[in-house]
Amino acid sequence: MTEIKNQQPVLALGLMSGTSMDGVDAALLWTDGEGIAEPRGTLSISYDKRVSGALRATVARAEMLPGVDAVEREMTLAHAAAVDALLRQEDLLPEAVRIIGFHGQTILHRPEAGLTWQIGDGALLAVATEIDVVSDFRTADVDAGGEGAPLVPVFHAALATHEPRPVAFLNIGGVANVTWVGPSGALVAFDTGPGNAMIDDWCLSQTGEPLDTDGRLAAAGTVDDAVLSAMLDNPYFDRKPPKSLDRNAFLSAPVSSLSPADGAATLAAFTAHAVARAARHFPAPPERWLVCGGGRHNPFLMAMLAETLQEPVLPVESAGWNGDALEAQAFAYLAVRSLRGLPLTFPSTTGVPNPIAGGRLDRALL
């Protein structure tokens, strides 16, 4: 797919709906698909409770349920509303945007079985927004034998151009993933283990709240070392990368007998210790860890990371980036790479045999 023949930066719009399933992040980015010229506006919108609940039910069962097509349509239209809101915020017309990168919503990810499933109707989004759309970023990688995730390391490498290296980018969404960028630009990337998903699910079941706001519940509890040790006794952490995870790969049953606060503290410790174990797979220790995703808003988790890693752990804002927009910006970047036929994934990021391009293009006008 080579739709952009020159290397002039274009304005791209990225959309991200993560494993938290709480809403859509949208971001504009000027890029040629190699360097990053300039970020522009960003915004986030929440799903209404009906859409969020339907997505959660689909992910929990991870199968083709009656009504999935209707959920996909509603989710796609929510993304279209995010595009419209961002364009109005930035006083732009649709024709000002060259391409949308549409991640969709991951429902199932089982790379060991060669399965990955994201819902999201790129054709509908293109018509609704009047902008061409690249979606379905994972399938080409999985079909070629890769894990299909993580997808953002090539974007992290572009961000790291002016950073002291080695540097580690840690994205703590529902699942946590890391990108290690070496001095020469070499990449090592993989999912480290749970991110916020287990903590969020625990808080919802125990308190009715969808997340542990500011880590207050965990801060009131005590880590149960025996439970933590049992949870860390999992062969995934010793597996060499590349490797990736489904949102529901780990079960919270070991913390079921704990108090709400102790359970939250133990699950946060689980996330942090999983990251520390991931660092064993790096070629060299990073100069610092730059954290993006919702997890960086949890002071208890950030403190736990600093304690377990014994290395500088900083939010990506310390490097001048917007951590809430970074994944959406990444999909704007990946969409431009897709249009140029540039590789999105690599042997050291997903285990694909050779660097491979991907994505499916849907045009706004036929």
- Residue-wise pLDDT for 71-119, tens only, equals 899 999 999 999 999 999 999 999 999 999 999 988 878 877 777 888 8
Identify whether 43 is part of a domain.
Answer: yes
pLDDT of residue 321: 93
Segments of the chain assigned E as strands: 10-16, 23-31, 36-46, 99-102, 105-110, 115-119, 133-135, 167-172, 175-181, 187-194, 289-292, 313-315, 360-362
- The residue that leads in pLDDT, 7 or 222, is 222
Q: Kindly state whether residues 183 and 205 are assigned to the same domain.
A: yes
- The residue that leads in pLDDT, 169 or 58, is 169
Q: Kindly state whether residues 119 and 98 are assigned to the same domain.
A: yes
User: pLDDT at residue 223 above 90?
Assistant: yes
Identify whether 307 is part of a domain.
Answer: yes
Locate tokens 């990946």: which residue? 334
pLDDT of residue 49: 83
User: pLDDT at residue 192 above 90?
Assistant: yes
Domain membership of residue 40 as a residue range: 10-149+325-362
Q: Kindly state whether residues 71 and 143 are assigned to the same domain.
A: yes
Token pair for residue 333?
């970047």
CA 281/CA 166 separation, integer angstroms:
13
CA 309/CA 251 separation, integer angstroms:
24
Q: Kindly state whether residues 264 and 347 are assigned to the same domain.
A: no
Q: Kindly state whether residues 291 and 162 are assigned to the same domain.
A: yes
Q: What is the mean pLDDT of the segment spanning 241-255?
A: 90
Identify whether 269 is part of a domain.
Answer: yes
Q: Kindly state whether residues 125 and 177 are assigned to the same domain.
A: no
Q: Kindly state whether residues 225 and 162 are assigned to the same domain.
A: yes
Q: Kindly state whether residues 304 and 159 are assigned to the same domain.
A: yes
CA 210/CA 208 separation, integer angstroms:
7
Q: What is the mean pLDDT of the segment spanning 321-336?
A: 95
Q: Kindly state whether residues 345 and 221 are assigned to the same domain.
A: no
pLDDT in tens, 265-293: 999 999 999 999 999 999 999 999 999 99
pLDDT of residue 62: 58
Identify whether 5 is part of a domain.
Answer: no
Q: Kindly state whether residues 215 and 289 are assigned to the same domain.
A: yes
- The residue that leads in pLDDT, 142 or 6, is 142
This prediction's pTM: 0.92
Q: Kindly state whether residues 29 and 144 are assigned to the same domain.
A: yes
Q: What is the residue-averaged pLDDT of the chain? A: 92
